Amino acid sequence: MSEIQKAIKIFHGPQHPGITGNMSVELDLIGETIQKAQTHVGYLHRGFEKLIERRTVVQGFTIVCRICVPEPDPNEENYARAVETLAGLEISEKAKYIRTMVLEMARLANLFMWMGGQAGSIGLGLIPQWSVCDRDYMLDLFEELTGARVYHMYAFPGGVRRELPEGFLGRLSDLLDYYEKRIVVYNNTFFDNVVFKTRAIGVGIVNKDEALKNAYVGQTLRACGIKRDVRKDMPYLMYDKLDFDIPIQTEGDVYARALVRRDEMIQSIRILRQIIEQMPSEGDILQKIPKHRKFILPAEDTYVQTETARGAMSYYMAGDGTEKIRRMQVRGPSLIHGFTLLEKLLVDSQLSDVAMTMNSLGICPPEIER
């Protein structure tokens, strides 16, 4: 095996159990140490931004939720808020509360999904089986509320599409009680697992000095001890009226990011409990908006941000005097994490760390290439 001495090229993906979604990392290995890493995307490129130029506002609303598959709701919220900013719509307080609730539910679901991926990336097959099932219970509530498991198309420009079902909030709080019990179990089996600690501590350390300048977002930032969260810095919806805090860690490695995510689960359960208390009983949920052929956006542009479960996601939207959207560009958290940061972190690390690092950065390919 003389070839193993000189660097060999490995295509880690696109079809690989250890890759997050349908992307590929091209690795130059000596032994199992990575000399050079290069990310390749485009396996999921659908040209959403081109399609949206050909759709009216309401038709585009069915497209945006497909932009990031694991958590569609922040995309819908971003789109709806951008359209409202351009068209000058003001949504009612109840609609705001419901949107906040949907966002937090989506955050919880996605964090459970992430936990499965993170545990699976170190071969701990028990946790994915449990956490994906727990996430499914949240999807059941989504189905009851919006009519769909994954793609909800719920946060409509001008409000939300459906009224809350009878006794929905009660069922939600029951589920939250269950989750609080489960998080203790996961804490014992996964976050305190000696093998996970041995592997995750000191791996994929993000440089704190360049983190802000290079536009790292989300847990990657918070695990370095930098307290940034769109929900606090640029409050939207009801977040300035709700009481929650931003968990941070200081090490900046994979394990710190995992702990930050665990604390965020607890925080969003806390937020949901407040929402259940404060949810206004009456109030219209959907503004009267013009027919979708008459829905004209002015020739202006705007820029909105939402905190997803993986970091800040920004939409740039520009209208021209027609019923079509001139331009809508998505800047997801994965764009920079997947290229600038991942290629930097993987150098001089082991092949075994690739899956773990990608999972802890929360890379979601469909929002890189749209």
As given in the structure block, the two tokens for residue 60 are 């585009």
21 binds other proteins per the rule CB under 8 A: yes
| Residues paired with 144 in a beta bridge | none
305 binds other proteins per the rule CB under 8 A: yes
| Angle 59-230-265 from CA coordinates, rounded to 5° | 95
331 binds other proteins per the rule CB under 8 A: yes
The footprint of other proteins on residues 351-370 (CB under 8 A) is 351-355, 366, 369
> Which CB atom, from 115 or from 272, has the smaller least distance to other proteins?
115
SS (H, E, C) 92-143: CHHHHHHHHHHHHHHHHHHHHHHHHHHHHHCCCCHHHHHHHHHHHHHHHHHH
Q: Which of 163, 233, 245, 284 binds other proteins (CB under 8 A)?
A: 233
What span, in angstroms and rounded, lies between the C-alpha atoms of 352 and 19? 12
> Which CB atom, from 126 or from 347, has the smaller least distance to other proteins?
126
246 binds other proteins per the rule CB under 8 A: no
We find the least distance from the C-beta atom of residue 50 to other proteins, in angstroms, to be: 5
Binding mask 190-229 for other proteins (x = CB under 8 A): ---xxxx-xx------------xxxx------------x-
Q: Which of 30, 35, 125, 201 binds other proteins (CB under 8 A)?
A: 125
Q: Is 179 helix (H, G, I), strand (E, B) or coil?
A: helix
We find the least distance from the C-beta atom of residue 243 to other proteins, in angstroms, to be: 19
- Residue 69: HSE in the Cβ half-sphere, 13 Å Cα cutoff: 11
What span, in angstroms and rounded, lies between the C-alpha atoms of 162 and 27? 48
Place of tokens 């009481």: 243
Report which residue type is found at 251: E
Q: How many residues bind other proteins (CB under 8 A)?
A: 92
88 binds other proteins per the rule CB under 8 A: no
Which letter does DSSP use for residue 159 in this model?
B
Question: Helices 57-64 and 73-87: crossing angle, nearest 10°?
Answer: 160
The footprint of other proteins on residues 153-192 (CB under 8 A) is 189
We find the least distance from the C-beta atom of residue 331 to other proteins, in angstroms, to be: 4
> Which CB atom, from 285 or from 345, has the smaller least distance to other proteins?
345
What span, in angstroms and rounded, lies between the C-alpha atoms of 343 and 232? 30
> Which CB atom, from 244 or from 275, has the smaller least distance to other proteins?
244
The footprint of other proteins on residues 129-148 (CB under 8 A) is 129-130, 132-133, 135-136
45 binds other proteins per the rule CB under 8 A: yes
